[in-house]
Structure formats: structure tokens, C-alpha cells
Structure 1
Amino acid sequence: MEKNNRLLNGIKFFALSIFLVLYIFPFFIVLINSFKERKEILENPLKLPSVLNLSNYIDAFTKMNYMHAFLNSLIITAFSVFLITLLSSMTAYIFVRKKWKFNQFMFFFMVASMIIPFQGIMIPLVKIYGSIGMMNSKWALIYMYVGFGASLAVFMYHGFIKSIPLELEEAATIDGCSQLQTFFKIVFPLLKPVTTTIAILDILWIWNDFLLPYLVLMAPEQRTLPLSVFYFYGTYTIEYGPAMAALMLATIPVIIVYLLMQKQIIEGVLKGSIK
């Protein structure tokens, strides 16, 4: 039995190792090519660089106006995730605790809206908001992200809040808490696992999103990091080296956040999935 278990564990480890290599291989290709000249990339993109040339990173950092683009991405992501988690948790709480028929209708309406693909509404979206002067603004983009991200967040919060005993809120009410105080002091702290899960999903989605910022943000000073990376892709030519370096520069912040918060991220995902 012990021999069979060791064999099974060895097979699992081998299979997981293969999946790991396949998963990180594209990242590895981008990394090694970010140090090469254009000629060397075209000759053999799989070959290790002969010299670690940092000129691509300097060129990319300058041309994409990295710090300004990073600040734009940070503002949009931070405000969007904050508003999505706050407003969606409060909305789901009302949906669960208030047994109104209107709430049931709105909840199913929000869940049903998740099946509508963004590509099906992006042209009317740009036309309508462009006609009322809401384009080319970070705050308009944040407003849209809150709208698009609220449905999934409300759905996840709704299922989690139903598992919270109502007696906790009744005890808080007896102690003199208003409904708003009960939510923020009793209910919301208990939502930490699902809040972490939603925040992770939304950070990855908003930080890496290209299509919606491309439609909304037109001025160069409004560009996010993914839009700045697109600067190196021209109509007739591609600056391969700087483009690879720009991709790495855009990816580094997410990697740093994951390394610093991996314990909280894994714990939040596990607890959220169990609930």
C-alpha cells in the first residue's frame, strides 16, 4: 500500500511539473526576448540572450511613460475594486435580508445580465456615453467597471450572506446598533473570505483589461499600462524587444502584489470556495 501511494504521488508530481512548465513557458519566452535586439529575436526567439541588454527596458520605460501609466492603472483599479466590493456587498445584504418581490426580481435580473457578452453592447455603450461627454475620463471608466463587475460580486455575496446566522444581527440590534452599523460591524467583517476572492478576480480583470480602456480612454495622458504596451505595435512593424520589455514592466506589479499577499490570496480563495 505504501509503495502504491509513493508511486501515485510520484505520478502526480510529474504531471503537475509538466503543467507548471507549460504554464510558465510563455512568460519565460517573453522574459528572455526582452533582453535581445530585434535581429536576435527574429533569428531564434527560443535561444537565451547572448548579452543581458537593458536598453529595451530603458526604451520601454521612457516611451510608454511608465510611471504615469502605472498611476492611471492604479487609480482605476483601486477605486473600481473598492466601489465594487462596497456597493455589491450592501446590495446583496438588502437582497438577502429584505424579502421584497422587487429584490427577487432585481437579483435574478442582475444574474441574468452576466450572460450578455461585452462585445454585444460595446458599440451602443461608446455611442451613448460619447454623446453625453463621458468618454476619455478615468472616472467614467471606473463607473463602467463598477457596472460590469457588480453582477458577479452581488451573486457571490448573496450566497455567502445567506449562510450568516440572523441571530448575530438580532443581537446587535438589541444592543442598539442601527442596520448600517450592524452591516459594517457584524456582517461585513464576516465577508472577508468572499471579499478577498472578489477583489482578486477584479484586480486581475481590471489591471489587465485592454478593450474597455481602449474604447474609453483616447488621450495619451489617460493611457493605462496595457494601452501603453500597445504603443510598440505599429501598422507595418513591431518593436519586438521594447514590446517584450513593456509586457514585463506591466506584469511586474501584479507579481509583486501576489508575492506579498499570496497567503491572504490563497486563504481567501479556499474559504470562499468552501462557503
Structure 2
Amino acid sequence: MDTEKNINLSQRQLKTKSQPVSPKLNHIKNIKSWGIFMAACVLFVLYIFPFALILINSFKSRLEIVDSPLALPSGLNFDNYREAYKTMNFTTAILNSFIITVVSVTLIIVFSSMLAYFLVRWRWKINNIILLGLIASMIIPFQALMIPFVSIYGRLGLLNSKWTLSFFYLGFGVSLATFMYHGFIKSIPVELEEAALIDGASRLQVFWKIVFPILKPITTTIAILDVLWIWNDFLLPSLVLVSDEQRTLPLSTFYFFGKYTSDFGLAMAGLVLSIIPVIIFYIIMQKQIIKGVIDGAIK
């Protein structure tokens, strides 16, 4: 009897599959697919237009930009790039940005992951208050805190330092990173840690050798978000870094905007030079970016 039922079900499924789809349904599906394609094309043009405009105008002189900003350049003139490279002190600026970004992101990942592990595994009542406090701190805008920070640290003589800036980034970035780590660590089975503790491992060894490798997807996601944030940040470095030797890439592009005049050709070339390292980083980390976002979403 069971075999006969299975045969009948399979025959019904074959009949339903073999039934032709009506032309109206095909027409509706084609319209939807074309509508989605056109919407994607429009969004692509809107997103790519500012970058294309910057790239095109970076090869023009100031008069050409003022005369026809949307026209193509008459030729590939790299004088703007050479002048921008010298004016920005590009080598020093990119080195400062690299040091600040690497140190800040490393501090955020280390402290946030350990704090999230503590909040999840040690079930103290105060841990919920700490987590709520971290989440609530994300609501406070930086503009409400920048004047007290600058005045206090200026009196202490701690401004104009890359390490002070990295400490600021740690304070502003630890909340979101801890919140993201907290949700991920809750999905890790406790039995893995208990087995390691029975084998004689300490808590630090359990975290760094067992828990932290499992956090690779969310760590990649946090690292990418923080790298893009810190590398492109302008406001906080402009308040902390005073001397020209400490300037980052976004601050160096400010050389081209004076009080009464602005050299847009050099500014566009400087912006392109500032964007190139981020594009290279994205190309190298493309697989990790997609994998980290997907794994983080699944968790």
C-alpha cells in the first residue's frame, strides 16, 4: 500500500511539473525581472556618478573644471597627481593613516571580544547593565562630546598624538563591536570550553585558542567596518592631530581648500590618491567581506 501511495504521489508531481506555464505568468515574470534590472542600473549610476566625476576632473586644470565640470578631459594630464602627491606629503600621511588604523582596529577587536566573552559567560546581574550602557552610548553623537574631550586632553597635553587618537577610536568603537560579538558568542556551545577546561586549559587559553578562532567571521566584519570608518574619518583627527607631521590622508586633502580659493583639480587628484588604498584593501579582502557578512547573518 505504501509503495502504491508513493507511486501515485510521484505521478501527480510529474503531472504538475509537466503542465505548461501560462504566457501571462511568463510575461509578468519578465516585466518584474526587467524592472529589477532597470532599478539596479539606476542605483548603480547614482552611486558611481560622484566617483566618476572626481576621476574625470582630477585630470583637468582649474579653468577646465569651472568651464565644463561634466565634460571629459582633453587628455590624461598627471600634473595634478604629481603636485597633490608633494603637497599632501603623501608618504607620511598614508603611513600615519596606516598606523592609526591598524592600532585602533586591533585594540577594538581585542578588548571588545574579551569584554563580550566576559559578559556572556559570567552571568552576573551587573553584566546586563554594562551591556545596556554600551548600547545606550551608541545613541550619543560625537559632536556632543568633542568639545569636552578636546579641552580636557588639551590641558593634559595629550593632543597631537597618534596614540591618543587610537585611544579615542577604541572608546567610540568598542560599543558596537562588543554588541556584535555578544550575539555571536551566545551561539557557541559551552561544551567546547568545558572540555578544554577539563583538559587543564586556563580561561585565557580557552578564549584565544578555542573561542576566538570561531569568531573569525564576525571579527572580519567588524575589522572591515572599523577600517573604513577610521581610514576615512576627518572630524576626530582634525581635533586631535595639530601638526602637519601627524596628519592623516583625509586631513592632507584639506590643504587644497583655502579660505578664499580652492584648487579643485588638485583636490580631486588628492581624493583619488586617498581612495586608492581603500579600493586595494577591498579587492584583497573581497572574499572575506562576503563570507563574513553571510556567516554573521546566519549566526
- TM-score surpassing 0.5? yes
Q: Which residue of 1 aligns with 2:80?
A: 56
Q: Which residue of 2 aligns with 1:102?
A: 126
Count of residue pairs the alignment pairs up? 275
Specify the SS of the correspondent of 2:285: helix
More displaced, 173-182 or 222-231? 173-182
Does residue 199 of structure 1 match 2:223?
Answer: yes
Quote the Cα distance in structure 1 between the aligned partners of 2:245 and 2:26: 63
Deviations 1:56-93, CA, capped at 9 Å, x for gaps? 00000000000100000000001100110111000000
Does residue 220 of structure 1 match 2:244?
Answer: yes
Quote the Cα distance in structure 2 between the aligned partners of 1:103 and 1:131: 34
Q: Which residue of 2 aligns with 1:119?
A: 143
Q: Which residue of 2 aligns with 1:31?
A: 55
- Which residue type is aligned with residue 115 of structure 2? T
Q: How does 1:141-156 map to 2 (within 5 A)?
A: 141-156=165-180
Q: Which residue of 1 aligns with 2:14?
A: none
Q: Any gaps of 5 or more consecutive residues in structure 2?
A: 1-24
- Which residue type is aligned with residue 227 of structure 2? I
Paired residue for 1:259, among 250, 262, 283?
Answer: 283
Quote the Cα distance in structure 1 between the aligned partners of 2:148 and 2:257: 27
1:2 is displaced (CA, Å) by 4.3
Q: Any gaps of 5 or more consecutive residues in structure 1?
A: none
Q: How does 1:70-81 map to 2 (within 5 A)?
A: 70-81=94-105
Q: Which has the larger radius of gyration?
A: 2
TM-score normalised to structure 2 length: 0.90
Q: Which residue of 2 aligns with 1:157?
A: 181
Give aligned-pair identity as a percent.
61
CA RMSD of aligned residues (A): 1.0
Does residue 47 of structure 1 match 2:71?
Answer: yes
1:263 is displaced (CA, Å) by 1.1
Deviations 1:226-262, CA, capped at 9 Å, x for gaps? 0000110000000110000000000000001111211
1:168 is displaced (CA, Å) by 1.0
